[in-house]
Structure 1
Amino acid sequence: MTPFLSDDFLLHTETARQLYHFHAAPQPIIDYHCHLPPDQIAQNRQFENITQIWLYGDHYKWRAMRANGVNERFVTGDATDWEKFEKWAETVPYTVRNPLYHWTHLELRRYFGITELLNKTSARRIYDQCNALLQTPAYSVQGLLTKMNVKVVCTTDDPADSLEHHQAIANQGFSTQILPTFRPDKAMTPEAADYRQYLDKLGAAAGVNIQSYKDLQDALRQRHDFFAAQGGRLSDHGLEQLYAADYTEEEVAVIFDKARNEQLLSTLEVEQFKSAMLIFLAELDWQKGWTQQFHLGALRNTNARALRQLGPDTGWDSIGDFTQAQALSRFLDRLDSQDKLAKTILYNLNPADNDVFATLIGDFQDGSVAGKMQFGSGWWFLDQKDGMEKQLNALSNMGLLSRFVGMLTDSRSFLSFPRHEYFRRILCNLLGRDVENGELPAEELPWLGQLVENISYGNARDYFGFTPAAAPASTGELAAS
């Protein structure tokens, strides 16, 4: 029987073990999409206990606790931090075969050196042991990023954000680069009840009195420039699906005026406005050589009662079954036909769209950049073993796995970085199995080692143009192919 979470966890062949230990494991981490709070990095926050750093804001764990019959008081309510941790510990044994079971114990091992299984009996010992370490300087948030060999973190930021915390971090000389990502979703919601208030906030940040559609474009362009000056080089959009309605600039200007005056918009007008904004923002990214990311397919806030009581982003979202291919292809084609298609990463939340996205990126590869169009890693409900394997297989079948920019955490937690290890082990196991089965040549093992290093680190470094400290030299032989 193989021990749980051994050094060879998820590595089922000798080739997989060689690929992981000699090539994947030594690589630093580039986390090019996450939701870490930059203010806590700037403050180098020291968390008081494991609950604060591990359970606050983690809707993955919240959903599991609710499913296990835990009262909301111990999830997001006014229970003490110890009581919340205890209820999570009681839930953990019931998460068997959920990725939370693996992540929980990987995080306890990698950060705190704890090999004991978390359950009701061990809860107090583990709580106290983690809390004692969290009081030490090495366990500040900057210390934790250093501990996990994280070289670059790209946070997710609204265009109206001051980026003062990113500036403070840069002035501190912290060895990990903390860079902003331009997330303009709120600027694209003319149907929202608070849209006018958001325009005022954005305008104040940009120094633009936003009274017209042109003013909105000017404000967003100014903020885009400001993000670039702070090292930003990625944008991100969280949408149910892409929009590609026909429109004219005159029509969009009228639609904006109606939204600014809080008049009701038709469904077509909303789609036209979003379509125009997406093209405008994509052209900004293209002009600067940025990478645009699209996270598509989440069905959000499905539980109206919970939304009223707890607000958004508290664990009431699911996979949506939106139609993706037609509008997405039209959007990309509009940009490509003008030679204004920036580097692009597409993430799907519905696994039924894997092959759709994996083939669609191939329609717009133009030879200008290796892997210009990317099928993004397993996201949200798909960032687990089965989801990652399906994404890797779809990409392998339809495109070039070798040009993939790899994993990200998409997390709000400073303890989520073992997900990169999890991904790397799964990648190495897939390749190792193919070699052992005679589906890949064993004599190409040096090249496969280089491929693993590239997907783990090098591809992202080169694709985004990051210049962190050099990765450590591999302990295995390298060869170009």
Structure 2
Amino acid sequence: MSLPLTLHPDRLFPADEASRAVARALYAEVKDLPIVSPHGHTDPRWYAENEPFPDPATLFIVPDHYVFRMLYSQGVALEDLGVPRRDGGPTEQDSRKIWRIFAANQHLFRGTPSAMWLAHAFHEVFGVRERLDADNADRIYDQIDAQLKLPEFRPRALFERFNIEVIATTESPLDELKWHKQIKTSGWQGRVLTAYRPDPVVDPEFPGFAENLVELGRITGEDTTSWRGYLAALETRRAYFREHGGCTSTDHGHPTATTADLSPKVASDLFDKVRSGSFTAHEAELFRGQMLTEMARMSIEDGLVMQIHPGSFRNHNPGLLAKFGRDKGADIPTATNYVHALKPLLDRFGNETRLSIILFTLDETSYSRELAPLAGHYPSLKIGPAWWFYDSPEGMRRYRELVTETAGFYNTVGFNDDTRAFLSIPARHDVARRIDCGYLGRLVAEHRLDLDEAQAVARDLAHGLAKKAYKL
């Protein structure tokens, strides 16, 4: 017999009664605030076409690297989970079989954020009231599958049900923004924006970089064989993203936070080398660093908020990369140096009040040592929320403890969910609001913050800071 699935109303609140009572009261004031999701990876096609999601496995398992990386770590083949292969080779096509594997391995997720997000989606979105396991896998599959066929479970209806005020997707600069244009002309009032992710045309080590430069030149009419023409093409695409996708931010997923400020002649010579394909790893890193500084200059000119997401050794598993491609759960955090790496950019633009750079990290040791002091000084810098591997209760708690005393709350930018898993968005925001209210509750209980101050901060962390930081 299956066990009941319940969500405790005080989950994630502090254990001591004084802090918990304040947290509970603060959470009651912010739990229903609209969701601002300024950075993520949901598919704009969902909102443009508004077609039903295919089935539970395709929704919850196949696209979610948080889910399938855990199963893979325990020996489950990605082919058996329906993850597409690059060569079009055989993978499991029976969604019910995929779901059964997932259901039989629920114990693997105990204590993880994925378990909380999934429980929230099952319970709150689909009304599931028993824990998923091997015995009830088919029954819960059928319950969810039947609801996915209803109009109220289509993407736009769920967008409205989740109380999403605005959501930003992330696109390559080569993207024509077809789906964003379709959303704008559809008459639907949901606000879906794009974010400009130039990695395919600024990272010499990105697959297809040379071909991408040719395509960039074709779609902009600029000469991308020259340094000046290349920069002009990037500026043209930024303008295109603002006009056709409502873009307010850029996003840079570089391996490190390295920046550079080369002379035009040296930068032009370096561009010629990376364009030719004859470059060293050091030169590729130097070029990426120069492009962060160029993007900062462009942001001062056009007002786009700049996000830097460094510190991931992406696609660490070459066998998996060869068979399944990028973003398959094999990205691993690395140590990141911000104080020295950002200095060339900050020497040039750090005091610019027209520039807004949001810094993220997968290196928690840098929060109190580097990021909080930097953001607590430079007017151009803000600290992004706990991200990716640390988008978790303990990661969020550590984040608040490590940055607040030096940077305060207002040099941070609230929360963003950074997800491909649409149904996890309300769950992730709920976790963040609960953790933040718990942290504030402790400060009130320790008489370090007055209740009215905590109420104002809770609202800002849940809604206002993200809206302001991303110019939404």
User: TM-score scaled by structure 2?
Assistant: 0.91
Specify the alignment match of 1:298 in structure 2.
312
Q: Does 1:238 align with 2:215?
A: no
Question: What SS does structure 2 have at the residue aligned with 1:405?
Answer: coil
2:290 aligned partner, one-letter code: A
1:386 aligned partner, one-letter code: E
Q: Does 1:382 align with 2:390?
A: yes
Question: What SS does structure 2 have at the residue aligned with 1:119?
Answer: coil
**1:249 pairs with 264, 279, 286, which one?**
264
Aligned equivalents of 1:238 and 1:425: distance in 2? 29
Aligned equivalents of 2:67 and 2:135: distance in 1? 19
Alignment of 1:351-370 (within 5 A): 351-355=364-368, 356-365=370-379
**2:146 pairs with 109, 127, 132, which one?**
132
CA drift at 1:325: 2.6
CA drift at 1:428: 0.7
Specify the alignment match of 1:50 in structure 2.
56
Aligned equivalents of 2:421 and 2:190: distance in 1? 16
Contact preservation (8 Å) 2:21, 2:441: yes
CA drift at 1:220: 0.6
CA drift at 1:126: 1.2
Aligned equivalents of 1:274 and 1:308: distance in 2? 24
Contact preservation (8 Å) 2:12, 2:435: yes
Structure 1 pair 297–192 and aligned structure 2 pair: CA distance change class (3 A): closer
Q: Deviations over 1:211-269 (max 9, x none)?
A: 2111111111111111121321101100121223452211222222233333x113443
Contact preservation (8 Å) 1:252, 1:272: no
Alignment of 1:24-39 (within 5 A): 24-39=30-45
Question: What SS does structure 2 have at the residue aligned with 1:449?
Answer: helix
CA drift at 1:403: 5.3
Specify the alignment match of 1:84 in structure 2.
98
Specify the alignment match of 2:21 in structure 1.
14
Aligned equivalents of 2:281 and 2:324: distance in 1? 28
Alignment of 1:20-419 (within 5 A): 20-21=27-28, 23-75=29-81, 76=83, 77-192=91-206, 194-230=208-244, 231-245=246-260, 247-262=262-277, 264-336=278-350, 339=352, 342-355=355-368, 356-365=370-379, 373-402=381-410, 404-417=412-425, 418-419=427-428
Q: Deviations over 1:121-144 (max 9, x none)?
A: 221121111111100111111111
Q: Deviations over 1:365-423 (max 9, x none)?
A: 2xxxxxx5321111110100111111111221211115532111111121121100011
Which stretches of structure 1, 4 residues or longer, exceed 6 Å deviation after superposition? none
CA drift at 1:78: 2.0
CA drift at 1:335: 1.4
Structure 1 pair 193–47 and aligned structure 2 pair: CA distance change class (3 A): closer
1:37 aligned partner, one-letter code: D
**1:462 pairs with 453, 456, 468, which one?**
468
Aligned equivalents of 1:328 and 1:253: distance in 2? 21
Specify the alignment match of 1:471 in structure 2.
none
Aligned equivalents of 2:205 and 2:362: distance in 1? 24
Question: What SS does structure 2 have at the residue aligned with 1:107?
Answer: helix
Contact preservation (8 Å) 1:118, 1:126: yes
Structure 1 pair 205–40 and aligned structure 2 pair: CA distance change class (3 A): farther
Contact preservation (8 Å) 1:64, 1:91: no
2:440 aligned partner, one-letter code: L
Aligned equivalents of 2:6 and 2:44: distance in 1? 35
Structure 1 pair 405–343 and aligned structure 2 pair: CA distance change class (3 A): same
| Percent identical residues | 29
Aligned equivalents of 1:277 and 1:341: distance in 2? 19
Contact preservation (8 Å) 1:73, 1:79: no
Give the total of aligned pairs. 452
1:20 aligned partner, one-letter code: Y
1:42 aligned partner, one-letter code: A
2:24 aligned partner, one-letter code: R
Question: What SS does structure 2 have at the residue aligned with 1:260?
Answer: helix
Contact preservation (8 Å) 1:105, 1:115: no
CA drift at 1:81: 0.9
**1:425 pairs with 409, 430, 434, which one?**
434
Aligned equivalents of 2:178 and 2:79: distance in 1? 35
Deviates more, 1:401-410 or 1:137-146: 401-410
2:339 aligned partner, one-letter code: A
2:25 aligned partner, one-letter code: Q
Contact preservation (8 Å) 1:195, 1:259: no
Aligned equivalents of 2:422 and 2:321: distance in 1? 26
Question: What SS does structure 2 have at the residue aligned with 1:130?
Answer: helix
Question: What SS does structure 2 have at the residue aligned with 1:35?
Answer: coil
1:10 aligned partner, one-letter code: L
1:225 aligned partner, one-letter code: A
CA drift at 1:105: 0.4
Aligned equivalents of 1:272 and 1:101: distance in 2? 40
Contact preservation (8 Å) 2:250, 2:306: yes
Aligned equivalents of 1:134 and 1:158: distance in 2? 30
2:73 aligned partner, one-letter code: A
Unaligned runs of 5+ in 1: 366-371, 467-481
Question: What SS does structure 1 have at the residue aligned with 2:448?
Answer: coil
Deviates more, 1:150-159 or 1:275-284: 275-284
Contact preservation (8 Å) 1:244, 1:330: yes
